[in-house]
Structures are given as C-alpha cells and as structure tokens.
Structure 1
Amino acid sequence: MLDLDTREWVLTNGLGSFASGTVSDVRTRTYHGWLFAATNPPSGRTLLFSHLEASLEVLGSVVALGTNFWGNGQIEPTGYQLLRSFDISPVPKWTWGQDNWQLTRQLVMPYGLVGTEDWGLVTEDWGQGGISNVPSPMPNTSLREGAPTTSLSTSAQSPMPNAPIQFCHRILIHYRYEGSHTAILRLRLLIAERDFHHQQTAGPKLQFSQMLGQQQVCLQAINSGRFGIPWHLRWTQGNYQPDAVWYWHYGLPEETKRGLGDKEDLYSPGYLIVTLQPGDAVTLEARVGFPDLMLSVITDKTFAEAVEAEQDRLSQIFGWGERGRNQLKIQNSKFKIKELLPPAHSPLWEQLLKASDQFIVYRASIAGPTVIAGYHWFNDWGRDTLIALPGLALVPQRFDLAKGVLRTFGHYCRYGLIPNAFPDVNGEPIYNSIDAALWWIETLGLYLEATQDWNFLAEQFPVVQQIYKAFVGGTHFNIQVDATDGLVSWDARGVALTWMDVVIGLHPVTPRYGKPVEINALWYSALCWLSQWAERLSQLEFGEPARLTKQAQRYAQQAEHVKTSLQKFWNPQLGYLYDTIEPDDRRNFQIRPNAVLALSLHHCGFSEQQGCQILDLATASLLTPYGLRSLDPGDPEYKGKYQGNQEQRDRAYHQGTVWAWLIGPYIRAWQRFYPQRSLPFDWQPLRDHFLFDACLGSISEIFDGDLPHTPRGAIAQAWSVAEVIRHIK
C-alpha cells in the first residue's frame, strides 16, 4: 500500500446521495462507490452502482486500469501504476497512460432537486411540492446466474400530478481516449443493493434482473422475493454483453482498521465494449428509476453540459459572475441590506464555498432544507446544523436557507427542546440534546443581526418563549433552571446531552451531569437575546408594547443574575473554568475546550482578565494546527490517538481528540479578549489539509491529539468547513 494514493473525494447531489472513492481508484471503505442513492432523502442511502472495472486494448495488448484490494491481502489488478494524474477541480478526473495512449475518466453527480431553483436564492415555501411516485418493480424474469437477459424497450416513470419538485439520483461518467491507434475499451459493471453501512454478501436469496434496451440496461435486485430499487445505465456508444458473474471478497482495509466488516461481494451483470478512435469519447449515465421516454438522449455534450450546469448553480448561489451578483443584490434588497456583495473571492474561497454546499440537503420528511453533519456516514443533527449554519449560510449570504432551517427547527420545538435528529419515516423527531435549543436561539440571533428581519423574529418569538419557559419550569431529562443561582442543570442517567455525547452501553464516557459551563454560557447569551428582542418588538409594535417592555426587563434581570452565578465556574488556582458543576456541587476541573466555547458566544459573561487567562491556558494545552483538543494532554484520561475498534474509538472521541470546528470559537474568543494581538494560529496546515489531504476539497471531522495529528473520523464535516469559512482570510 506504500505507493497507493488513498486520499479521498466525494460528490453529492443535494438529496443525500453521494459518490466517493480514492485518488488511486481503489475502494478502501464500505462507503466507496459511484451511486449511493438516498431513497428517502437524505436517508435510505443505498449502494446501487459500485464502479466500472476498465481495461484497454491497444495493438492487441490489454491493460487493466482498475485497482482492487482482495480479502486475502492481494492487490489485483494494479492499474494505479498506469495512473499519470488526478485532478479534483471542477470534477474528479483520472488520466491513465503509456507511451502510445492516454485515457481520461471524469465523474459528475448532477444536483438532484428537480423542478425548483436552489432554496438559498428563491423560495421560502418549504412545505410545498411533491415527489415522484416510486415505480413498480420489473416483471419477474429468470434470475439464475447467466440466465438469458430479457429485452426491454423503455418504460416511462410518471411523476405525481402537478408535482413541482422531483428527486433525481444519477451520476455521469465520461471517458476520452487519445493515442496513435484504435483502442477497445471494456467496462465491466459492478453493482449492489445494500445499505451504505453494510457490505454485500453473495447468496441464493440475492439475485439481480437485467433488461436490455437501445444503448441501455435496466437493473433491479430481488432479495428474498422483495424487489429492490430499479435503476438503469445508458451510454452514447458501445455494445453491451450480458455476462452475469459474482466477484467475491473485495477487501476494505479502512474498515479493517476500524474493527468493522471488511469484505464485500459485488455482482456483475455484464460489460460494455467500446471501440475508440483517437479523440473519441464515451459517456455513461447511471440513474435511479426505470428508463423514461421523456428523457433526452445522452450525447457527447451531455457530460460537459452537466458540469456547466453545476458551475452555474454554484455561481448563482455564491455570487460568482454577473448573474450571481445580481441574485445577491436581489437577496440583499429583500433583507434591506445595503450593497452587501460577496467578499473578494480567491480560488481557495470558492472551493470552501463549494465544499459547504455539499452539506446542504433536502429532507423529504420535513419538506425542507437541512444539513448533513458529515460524509460518509452521518445524517443531519440539530446541534451540528445550528452550529454550522452561520458559516454555511450567513457568511455566504444564503439568508433564505438560514431562515428555512431555523423555521423548520422552530416548528418542531417540543417541551422547549429542539430536535437533535429527525426520523426518516413516520415518527417523532429525537429530542436528546440540552444545547440544541440554546444553539437555535444563538443562531437565530446571528441571523437577525445579519438581516434585520424583524418580521421573522415576531414569527419565531413564541418558540423562543416556549424554550425559556420550559428551561425555567423544567422539562425532559430533569433539565431545569436552579432557582437559587439561575443556572441550567440536568440529571438523567444513561444519556449524554451535550456535544460530548458518546454513550457506550448505558454509560456516557463524558456524562457532564449537572451544570456544564458552555450550556450556562449559552443560557446567559439566550437571556440577553430575549431581553433585546422583547425590547425591539415593543418598539416595532409587534404585540403589546407594555407587556413586552416588562418582559425585556425581566429577561435582563435574569441575565444579570446568571452572569453573577457564572463566577461559580471560575477556578482561580488554575485560571480556567470548571467544566461542570456536578449535581452534588462538586467541580470538574479538567481542562476542556468548553471554557473557550463559553467565551465565544455573542454575549459573554466573563471578564477581560478571566478571558485572557482562559485563552492563555487553552493555547498552551489545547491548541493544535487543526483545532482544539477535547482534553488537556496532561490529564490522566487523555487519549492521544483515535483508533481501534468502535469502543476504543468512542472512548477517545472526547478525551483528547482534536476537533476542527473548535478553531472557530477559539478565534472568536481571541478576537474578543486580545483584539490588538495577532492570532497564535497558522492557517497553512489547515489550508493544506483542505487542498491536499484526506478528502480533497473538504475538512475532516477530527484529528489525533498527538503528533502528527492524523485526520480521523468523517472525511468531510459540515461544522469543520463552516467554522473555517467564518474566519479564514
């Protein structure tokens, strides 16, 4: 593996579908493949199309271009040795070659929300629209291996009547050949139907049907008599040969490292033979659903048009080019923002914004936008979404997106809590977070500061008051304001409600029962916001001015009470904040980044002297080139490497592991308490990581606490990217 480039790439479609792999084109994870379709956006992600195994014949000599790990440890074939270059921009592009030929391959995953513009520019009507009907299964045909293939003309897929929104999950693959002689390209299909967390295993209950049409084949799994998801592959030229065979025991070494299932069986229904003259190209499209008579025929221009369409979509969102700048002027006018145009952009800035867009997805169960926490394996999480929203939406001026997400989460507020996760199908959201509601208030405040959208404040103020009343009066998990000091406390065994939320069995690794410091800093900031908002609404004559003025005064008094009580967290011997005040009033004196979080909020309840001392110790103990450690290396519980099986990794997750997103709170705190001093942080390592390491064009979730700070966890994390966008220059 020493000369294999296993850095990764990811493509997304705005619905939760994705494609991913490595630079050397070898699959190392369960999550590598060319079409993971989010059948219930953004969830239900199912691997349908793994990849094409390519070989090229020139002058009678055949070379295999693919690279595979096998379960016995072998690497076969070794196409990576012919790989001449790889480029990630604007889409992934591989170039293989020898002296007398060169073959390039490019992939693009078109935006999948069809029938509407990007919600960040045009629509606030989240609840409108419908989706395509799920097509019925293919006729049951003979499915034994190598059985004759049924012929297929085309079968139209009919959308719901008057449905303005449809979901489209597809990927386009484009090959171009250059050389001095005619070449024959063979492309063998490798397919699956399995949940994206699990590997596929061949067996008599799992079979695949294929039906041929004109330059297309329609494929569908049948598992224990259950019809799977139909999808089809189309191509611009070539002859398809049915040749059904299983390939057993692909190896997945990254899963071996993580102590998870690490072998996969893939099915091949056949292969495509394409004769290529020098300069010739072939384009293929894999698309979920049956072939549709209404679809335009793919041509040699289809791929370039898809790349251009995606570039145009991004330019409209982020203000690149004249059309995009005009869109932002309309947006700014709508929110009464004077001539607020995007900052001078550089290639790095454009790539960061492009990376940010990969996390914005449509959730069908709420008919609105949400944020995927990270790729490959995360869904959307309330806390992560709200922390990431300023960087993903406010800085890029996607104000309608921010408004839509805030409105959705506000709509689902229950018992004064904001959901930390939404169900994929029927069912209630999951309310297992103490801080999501407080982050919702904090992010709402940042949105209002940016937009002055006081009508939206009037709309959401009842939700704000619901949260306030629930925290004061008590709600689930024994969350309640302590009447003696005004601080928020909680006590519920077997759960972990803060962002340090790992639970192994029924035992939280970092339980943080009682009064966590950042929770009470958020509570203080929330009370300050409430006082400001009540006063603002009274002046604008939303509601009853006299009553709102009294509320503003009461919130301000409570905020002062809480500010005084926050001094309970001050540890004068250490010059730092206690991490928690436990239910029995003991103090937890571990040096964690939650003290820095407490300094970084819009309203801060700590003095300048305290802030400087906290930052000095955090800089010495927690700061790394990639973010903040979650625990001081001198602590007996510190774990410097995030590796091993699931339990070992979980025990290290918040016990020293570096979190990239925490660099944002650190910078905000530094700018508050050391405004005249240069930031003791060099952006270059994080820039290099974004451009050249791990997942090219994104930022990892976490890094080892110990040198060399190896990137770990999810290869692309929303709040990591978002916090860099908020502060990088």
Structure 2
Amino acid sequence: MKNLDDREWLLTNGLGSFASGTVADARTRTYHGWLIAALDPPSQRTLLLSHIEASLEVANKVVALGTNYWGNDVIEPEGFQLLNSFEIEPVPTWVWQKDNWQLTRQIIMPHAERGNAVPQDNTSRVLIQYCYTGEVQGILRLRFMIADRDFHHQQQADPNLHFSQIVELQQIILQALRPGWIGTPWQLRWTQGEYQYDPVWYWNYRLPEETNRGLGDREDLFSPGYLTIDLEAGSCITLEAQVGASSALPALHNSEFSDAVQAEQNRLVQVFNFELDKNSSTQLQQQLLRASDQFIVHRASIAGPTVIAGYHWFNDWGRDTLIALPGLGLTTQRFDLAKGLLQTFGRYCRNGLIPNTFPDSGAEPSYNSIDAALLWIETLGLYLEATQDWDFLVEEYPIVQQIYKAFITGTKFNIQVDATDGLVSWDAPHIALTWMDAVIGGQPVTPRRGKPVEINALWYSALCWASTWAERLSQEEASESRLMNQARRYQQQAQKVKDSMQKFWNPTKSYLYDTIEPDDRLNSQIRPNAVLALSYQHSAFPTHQGRQILEVARQKLLTPYGLRSLAPEDLQYIGQCTGDVQHRDRAYHQGTVWTWLIGAFIRAWQRCHSEPVPCDWQPLLEHLHAQACIGSISEIFDGDAPHIPRGAIAQAWSVAEVLRHISSTAVSY
C-alpha cells in the first residue's frame, strides 16, 4: 500500500488569490482549495471551489479517484493508491493509472498581470483539464464541491445556508444565500459533458493539519451537482471556475488551457528576462524566481504592488516586505517593483514610522513596528546603490529626514534616541515591536524593550546612509550649506552610536548582548540578532569582534535550514514548534529555526572573512524540491534535528534571502 503523500502545491495569480492542495489530492488544511479568491485584492480571500471529486467508469467498473479524510479517521476513497505520478512544472499534473487506462489532470491559475502592468481586472479564475488515454471507452463523472467562506474558517452545513444555481448551456452560475447575507456570485464552465442538478451536503471532512495545529478541523462542503463526460482515447475536458456571473462569455475551448500555460511561461520570461531550459543550475535559479513571483501581488486599496508575507494565511506586512525586497526586487532586477514598494511605504510614513500592515479599503494602517522605518532607509540605500536612481533619492529624502527627526525627538511607543549615548530605545508594555513579535495574553513572549542590538545597528546604518545622501545632495542643490551641515550632524551622530555600540559587546561570551533593558540590565542570551547587527550595509563592529560573534553563531545557532532564534543550552529554549496556538507562539522565537536569517549570516561572514561561507545548501535545496510546498521554502523549522518544516509552507523572506545569496556561494545540485 502506498503512503499518502502530504507534500503541498501552490498556485497564485498576482491578486492574493491562490489554489493549493496536496500531492495525494487530499485536503489537509482549511486553506486547501482550487479557487480561493481575493475579492478585495489581496484581502477577503474566500473559498469558492474546494475541489472536484472524480470517478472513472471503465469496462463497467467504477473507480473513485478522490482521496478524503473524514471525521471518523477514515480515508475514503483511496484514489491516491492509483496515483502513478505527480509533477509540479509547468503546472501541477496528476496521472492516475490502472491496467488499460490513464487519466491526467492539470490545474493552472492564470495570472492577472502581464509583465509589470497594472492588473487587467480583479477577476480570479482557475482552469482544470482532464485528459484520458485508454484501450476502451470510459465515462468520467465530476462532482463539484463548493463553499463560500473566509479562508481562515471552515464551512458548516446550515439549514439557513443555500446555494442558488442557474444552469445554462455548459455552465452554472452559483451564489450562496443566507437570511440577511448574499454571497459571492461565481460560475463554472466546461467544454463538454452533461450536467446533472443534484444538490447535496457532504459532512464531516477532517483536516489533519489543523488537528495538529490545535485549530478547528472539521468542514462540510456542498455539491450542486455533477458532470458526466463520455471519453475516448485522447479525449480532454477543460473546466473553468471564475469569480463573477455572466451569460455572455464565449464558449470554453480545450485550447484555452494550453494557451494559459504558454501565457504564463511568456510572462515569466518577460518579468525575469530568462529563457526556460533544463540546465540544473539555471533550473534551480528559475525555480527560485518562480517562487519569488508568487508573493508579488496588487493591493487594490493602495492601487499598487505589495508582498504577501507567506502562504497560506499571512497578509502583506511592512517588515517582511522590506526584508524580502532586496531578494525579490533587486537580485531579480525588478527595479520598478522595488521602487514602487518603496514609494508606497514612504507615502504611508506617519510620525516617522512605516506601517507594519497596509490598510484594507477604509481601514487605517498599523504602525506597531520599530524596525520598519529603519529597514525602509536600509532598503532605499540598497536600491540606490543598485540603480543609481538619484532622482528617486531627491524625491524620498524628505521621508528620511522625517524618520530621523521622529527618532531623535520621540514618537509612538516611547521610541526615542537616548541623548546620553545616541542609541535608540523603546518602552511600551504588552507590545512587541521587533521581529520577535509573538504575544500571548497581552504579554510578549520575547520582551525586548529598551535598546535591541539589531535596531541600533540599523540606526547606525541609517545615519551613515543619511550622511552620504546629504553630502551628495549638497552638490546638486542650491541649499548646499544646509545639507552639508546635515551631513556633518549625521556623521557625528553615527560616530557616537558606533562608539556606544560597544556597550553590547559581551567579552565573557565573545558575543553581543541582545538588549540593554530599560533599567540598564544586559540580556546575554545567544540570539541571531547579533548576526543581524553585522549584516547591514554599514557595520559598527570591527572585524575581530565580528569573527568571534560569527563563530559563536556557527556553533550554537547555524543549522542546514537557517539560524535558531535561541541557543539550545538556554533554559528558555524550545526545540519543536508544535501544538496549539499558545504552544507554537511560545516556541516561535525561542529556538525555532528561521530560514531568512541565513542571508544575514552570509552577509556578515562575507564582511568578516575571506574564506567560503560555511553553509551546506544541500538540505535546503532538497527541501525546496521535495518537502512541504514543492518549489518554495517554508517559514520556519524545528530547532531540534531533524528540523521538520513548520509554519507557512511558502514564505517570502525565506525565498528572497536564499535567492539573494545562492548565486554568491558555491552551490551544486
């Protein structure tokens, strides 16, 4: 008997919509479905088409090809037993086979953009194609399984919940209805077959990944009916599920599937300026480029680009976007994208802070981050170095000044520069403002109030950038003396911060203190924030200290998948990020491995050493090809070996940081 393959696949469309499931074709998460549509891109993600249950009748024998978990711990049917192969490229492709027949299914989610253009519209759709090969004729029955619910929650059968359907030639128009509520209209179309109206509820699907995460794990799905198709050798049927309702669409043709595949290939070639080939090293880079593209989406509320932090459940976050931007936008030479993201964040700067979350329509941004503003300056600097776009510096320099003034004079959350040593401090109870931001019951799991080391390293780098920019602008503008004075002030403050950064040096451990707390206590836990402090464009620490820091990090934090968030010998270390929400949040930054931190380690190592970076890429590349989400990189891994992947199955900054550095280190696969 075959094992059920729970590896996952992911399709996206540039609007925040996605399709996802497992290789075995069983739904194991609330977030699995073939059309999860972002109705207000990239928000209001709504499951409409869960999947299609397929059965094949050949020689008077009916074979069920689906695979489902049920609430009584039964797997039925067991279609995965007949699954002969699965391929992820160019599109997810399943092949079921037995004796004298073979059935292939492919799925594609057409992209809403063409190149760097604004999305043509906000319509999300998915195409599914079945092709049959057999010695005898067959009959394919396809039962549609649908919903209309927020992608974070399961659907439950309800006497008050109804699905209207308008049956037309080779299509049905569907809409959920409940007293006082009208759902999203959408439609299913097909190229051939006879539709049978047969509304029925299917109760008690079980979602085992949600069981493991301590969340709701039961779902009811509705089926409006099924389609029957007579098959001969070489027969294909194509279906389309699309948001919206229209009787005026032209007839669907099988060629539309291959046209959509070709259009996506052409789009990727245009975006990344590469030619698709089978060379192993090139193929690896192209796989990472494809993965990176899945996070770039259009946000309707700002009419501009943004970055989904991770799939399935994350939205777009400021900190994550700015950390990922060099890999997603600069390494890939998508400079217009990088510029657009920087412009948007700059436009939303308030009180010297950059939002950590973008607003949905009619909502206010959230500014609960101390590092986003400083990361914006750091990323702006990297963009300018890569593009020499000095006109953009002129445009954005007032925002640099706004951030500087706010940090000097003080802003929200008691963020302020300490006049005595020039270091940035913050103090706000019940809030976590750094990237270690898990909070349980109003209490941060990793409280880092005071002066965090990586925040002050960013502050130092920001002052160095500002000094360089003011000096440059002074040579081009009439107000030369004012800008030169600014340059000198930034430079003097940078020197003061550099001197004060030695307060973080812990000679006993040859490492950096993680924070200087509000009462001046020194936190000596071994965390990766010391490595982050070495990784920015301008470093306040001399090479001999950097080498000692990196040696400690290599021994205690470095794993094949990234850096641990806490050294294993620490009494607060938690080696597995499992269990319910509280257990996972307690482990999130207390030893869990974060892949994105590998980029900081590489940059710091290259700054301090001339020898090759001591990174073995092989396990991470095997993960990319054959674990979790095939073709992408997970958010986190357990701190303990064997470092099982956890969290989001595809994470923007994980992919971005690997993409950013994999070409600069010796890699073979």
With the shorter chain as reference, the TM-score category is over 0.9
Given candidates 592, 597, 610, the residue that maps to 2:545 is 610
Q: Distance in 2 between matches of 1:18 and 1:444?
A: 30
Superimposed CA distance per residue, residues 552-575 of structure 1 (whole angstroms, 9 cap, x where no aligned partner): 111011000000000000001110
Within a 5 Å distance, the mapping from 1:488-567 to structure 2 comes to 488-539=424-475, 541-542=476-477, 544-567=479-502
Task: Verify: 1:671 aligned to 2:625, yes or no.
Answer: no
AA aligned to 1:410 is G
* Residue aligning to 2:123: 168
Within a 5 Å distance, the mapping from 1:357-372 to structure 2 comes to 357-372=293-308
* Residue aligning to 1:88: 88
Given candidates 245, 248, 253, the residue that maps to 2:203 is 248
* Residue aligning to 2:272: 318
Q: Secondary structure at the match of 1:47?
A: strand
Task: Verify: 1:574 aligned to 2:516, yes or no.
Answer: no
| Contact 2:53/2:145 (8 A) holds in 1 | yes
AA aligned to 2:621 is R
| Contact 1:537/1:543 (8 A) holds in 2 | no
| Contact 2:184/2:244 (8 A) holds in 1 | yes
Q: Distance in 1 between matches of 2:609 and 2:247?
A: 62
| Contact 2:141/2:227 (8 A) holds in 1 | yes
* Residue aligning to 1:16: 16
AA aligned to 1:317 is V
Superimposed CA distance per residue, residues 645-701 of structure 1 (whole angstroms, 9 cap, x where no aligned partner): 1000000000000000000000000011012x1211110000000011110000000
1:2: how far off?
7.6
1:321: how far off?
3.8
Structure 2: gaps spanning 5 or more residues: 664-669
Q: Distance in 2 between matches of 1:552 and 1:224?
A: 64
| Contact 2:112/2:120 (8 A) holds in 1 | no
Q: Distance in 2 between matches of 1:694 and 1:492?
A: 37
Q: Secondary structure at the match of 2:391?
A: helix
AA aligned to 1:242 is Y
* Residue aligning to 1:625: 560
Q: Distance in 2 between matches of 1:466 and 1:15?
A: 32
Q: Distance in 2 between matches of 1:206 and 1:717?
A: 35
Superimposed CA distance per residue, residues 224-277 of structure 1 (whole angstroms, 9 cap, x where no aligned partner): 331100000000000000000000000000000000000000000000001111
* Residue aligning to 1:55: 55
Superimposed CA distance per residue, residues 495-515 of structure 1 (whole angstroms, 9 cap, x where no aligned partner): 000000011111000110000
* Cα RMSD, aligned residues only: 1.4
Q: Secondary structure at the match of 1:400?
A: helix
* Residue aligning to 2:667: none
* Residue aligning to 1:473: 409
Q: Secondary structure at the match of 2:245?
A: coil
AA aligned to 1:707 is A
Within a 5 Å distance, the mapping from 1:121-132 to structure 2 comes to none
* Count of aligned pairs: 662
Q: Distance in 1 between matches of 2:646 and 2:247?
A: 42
Superimposed CA distance per residue, residues 366-392 of structure 1 (whole angstroms, 9 cap, x where no aligned partner): 110000000000000000000000000
1:542: how far off?
3.4
| Contact 2:445/2:586 (8 A) holds in 1 | yes
Within a 5 Å distance, the mapping from 1:233-382 to structure 2 comes to 233-293=188-248, 295-321=249-275, 346-382=282-318
Q: Secondary structure at the match of 2:392?
A: helix
Task: Verify: 1:210 aligned to 2:165, yes or no.
Answer: yes
Q: Distance in 2 between matches of 1:187 and 1:316?
A: 36
Q: Distance in 2 between matches of 1:314 and 1:228?
A: 34
* Residue aligning to 2:143: 188
1:344: how far off?
11
Q: Secondary structure at the match of 1:369?
A: strand
Task: Verify: 1:106 aligned to 2:112, yes or no.
Answer: no
Given candidates 594, 599, 602, the residue that maps to 2:534 is 599
* Residue aligning to 2:619: 685
* Residue aligning to 2:345: 409
1:536: how far off?
1.0
1:26: how far off?
0.3
* Residue aligning to 1:153: none
Q: Distance in 2 between matches of 1:509 and 1:219?
A: 45
Q: Distance in 2 between matches of 1:680 and 1:296?
A: 58
| Contact 1:458/1:542 (8 A) holds in 2 | no
Q: Distance in 2 between matches of 1:58 and 1:554?
A: 81
Q: Secondary structure at the match of 1:427?
A: coil
Superimposed CA distance per residue, residues 389-423 of structure 1 (whole angstroms, 9 cap, x where no aligned partner): 00001011000000000000000000000000012
Q: Distance in 2 between matches of 1:724 and 1:262?
A: 33
Q: Distance in 2 between matches of 1:344 and 1:590?
A: 41
Q: Distance in 1 between matches of 2:458 and 2:67?
A: 50
Q: Identity rate of aligned residues, in percent?
A: 68
AA aligned to 1:486 is G
Given candidates 398, 421, 425, the residue that maps to 2:357 is 421
Q: Distance in 1 between matches of 2:160 and 2:14?
A: 33
Q: Secondary structure at the match of 1:346?
A: helix
* Residue aligning to 1:652: 587
1:358: how far off?
0.1
1:176: how far off?
0.3
1:425: how far off?
2.1
Superimposed CA distance per residue, residues 259-308 of structure 1 (whole angstroms, 9 cap, x where no aligned partner): 00000000000000011110010000000000252x44221111000000
* Residue aligning to 2:115: 118
1:545: how far off?
1.5
* Residue aligning to 1:333: none
Q: Distance in 1 between matches of 2:518 and 2:275?
A: 56
Superimposed CA distance per residue, residues 213-233 of structure 1 (whole angstroms, 9 cap, x where no aligned partner): 110000000023311000000
Name which of structure 1's ranges 199-208 and 616-625 shifts more when overlaid on structure 2.
199-208
1:538: how far off?
1.3
Q: Distance in 1 between matches of 2:369 and 2:252?
A: 48
| Contact 2:308/2:315 (8 A) holds in 1 | yes
Q: Distance in 2 between matches of 1:2 and 1:267?
A: 29
Task: Verify: 1:639 aligned to 2:636, yes or no.
Answer: no
| Contact 1:700/1:713 (8 A) holds in 2 | yes
Q: Distance in 1 between matches of 2:346 and 2:65?
A: 51
1:529: how far off?
0.2
Q: Distance in 2 between matches of 1:165 and 1:72?
A: 45
1:543: how far off?
5.3
* Residue aligning to 1:444: 380
* Residue aligning to 2:642: 708
User: Normalised by the size of structure 2, how large is the TM-score?
Assistant: 0.98
